Each structure stands twice: as C-alpha cells, then as structure tokens.
Amino acid sequence: MKHLSDYTAADLAELARQDVARALAEDVGTGDLTAALVDPARPARARILARESAVICGTPWVQAAVHALDPNARLTWHVTEGQRCEANQVVLSIEGLAQPLLSAERTALNFLQLLSAVATKTATFVQAVAGTRAAIVDTRKTLPGLRLAQKYAVTTGGGANHRVGLYDAVLIKENHIAAAGGVAAVLQRVRETAPQARFVEIEVETLAQLDEALRCGATMVLLDNMDIPTLQEAVHLNAGRAILEISGGVNLDTVRALAETGVDRISIGALTKDVKAIDFSMRFEAL
C-alpha cells in the first residue's frame, strides 16, 4: 500500500470515491424515500455556506458524493482546498438535478465538515509553533475506515503524517523492548525484520534510555511525557544525532513551550480524535 505522500490526484480521487461509496450505501441504501417526492427531471441550484471560519478540506469527497448520484452536476468552488473561508461565506455552488442533490447532501456535508475540522485544528497548532523547528504530526487515533482521509486533512492544514498504520513504519515501545530483550537487541532485530520500514522510531521515558538508544544507533526517538527541563536536556544530549519527537499532554496551551525546546516533531492525537465538526449548510435556490 502506498504512503499518502505518494498519492497522485487520481489516487486521491479514487480514495474519495471509495469512501463515498461506503457512506452512500449506509445512507441511501435501497433508495431515498423522501427525495423520491421530487420530480426526477427537476433541475436545481444549491449553495454550500460555511457558518464559521475554517480551512476548507474535502473537496474530492464532496465532488465524489455529488457525481456518484448526478454525474453531470456542475460544481464551482469559491474557496479552494486548503484556503480559509470566513463565516457565512459561500464556498461552493452546484447546478444539477434536484433529486440526486438532495440524496447526496448529507454525505457531502459530512465529509466536508469532518475534514475541514481536522484541517482547521491542525492549522491552529501549526500557527502556534510558527518560527520553531517543530512539525505538527498526526497519530493513528483516527475514525475507523477514514484514516487516509483524516491524514490527508492534516497535511491540508499544514501538518505532517506519522506512520499510516502498523505496516509502513516501526514504533518501538516499552513492551516491545522488554519482549525483545532490551534496546540494543530490539534495534538490531528491526534491521533484520523490517528493512522496508519508512522509518524506525523508539520510545524512551528517561534521559538514560535516550542515551542508550542513541549509543545503539537510533535515528528517531519519541520522548514520552517529559517535562520542559527534561526535554531541553534531551535536545542537548541528542546534539542533532536523531530526529526527536514528543507526545503526551500536548494542547494549545503547552505546544509553543514544547516546540521551543528544540524538538523536531510534536505528535498530537487530538488532531484527528477530538474534532468538532465545522458548521456547513446547503441551501437550494429557486430556478
């Protein structure tokens, strides 16, 4: 499976099509009983409005939802992917047939409100650490079945992706170290068993563990739940040898101070786990 960074526009469109197909299957099912009240030949024009400021994300999913039910519908975006809209701004105009637009409405809005929420939250964290070397990074704490979509939204908001799943990179934690027989043993083992991994990262909880990991050749280290003074010492001890990432207890009140310690990456599960949907609505216009 390709990493998201290797996706082309066609790959992204296919991902959106697959996500939308599942969503429409659970929503429309055997048919939209309410939309059936409308003449199938009746044309319609609709607008999607943002009720609050947000970074727009999810245009491939919206387009896939509309075109799945009305292939000839015309969509005109007034705010492009990754741009910020303002409250009460029209972000999209649609012309097509009324019946399929009514059926696609909720699925299109669901993707737009979720992915825009992830992108907007990510952008807020990115702005909070501006001027430091720290990148804002996501985690695997995503909605089941929508991981790639949410990770795409993180990049749209200016963040970076961590591993996509258990298959593409290695993150060695305390239990892995204990089960494998220690830091040196586990790092040697991973070189033998996972040469295809995009990266190998090892988690440490103390400066002594960091020192051991560096002496064993670690190139990427996760500093777990360390306070600011300890993080500063860790950066000094590391001296640029490995990529340093921190996680645990990160929020908008703490992220700037954490970034100023000089770490390279800050991973935040809340980017995809604790999101509040952006408020969008679709309004039909008389023709």
Active site residue 95: no
Q: Among the options 27, 95, 224, 260, which is catalytic? A: 224
Q: Among the options 173, 189, 241, 256, which is catalytic? A: 173
Active site residue 173: yes
Q: Among the options 17, 84, 106, 273, which is catalytic? A: 106
Name the token pair of 85: 């809209």
Q: Among the options 138, 201, 203, 245, which is catalytic? A: 203
Q: If you write DSSP's letter for every residue of the chain in order, what string do you get?
A: ---GGG--HHHHHHHHHHHHHHHHHHHTTT--TTGGGS-TT-EEEEEEEESS-EE---HHHHHHHHHHH-TT-EEEESS-TT-EE-TTEEEEEEEEEHHHHHHHHHHHHHHHHHHHHHHHHHHHHHHHTTTSSPEEE--S---TT-HHHHHHHHHHTT-B---SSTTT-EEE-HHHHHHHTSHHHHHHHHHHH-TT-S-EEEEESSHHHHHHHHHTT-SEEEEES--HHHHHHHHHHHTTSSEEEEESS--TTTHHHHHTTT-SEEE-THHHHS-----EEEEEE--
- Tokens 């500063």 found at: 232
Active site residue 274: no
Active site residue 106: yes
- Tokens 């010492």 found at: 233
Active site residue 224: yes
Kindly report the backbone phi and psi dihedral angles of residue 175, in degrees, each rounded to the nearest multiple of 5, phi listed first: -65, -35
Q: What are the residue numbers of the active site?
A: 106, 141, 173, 203, 224
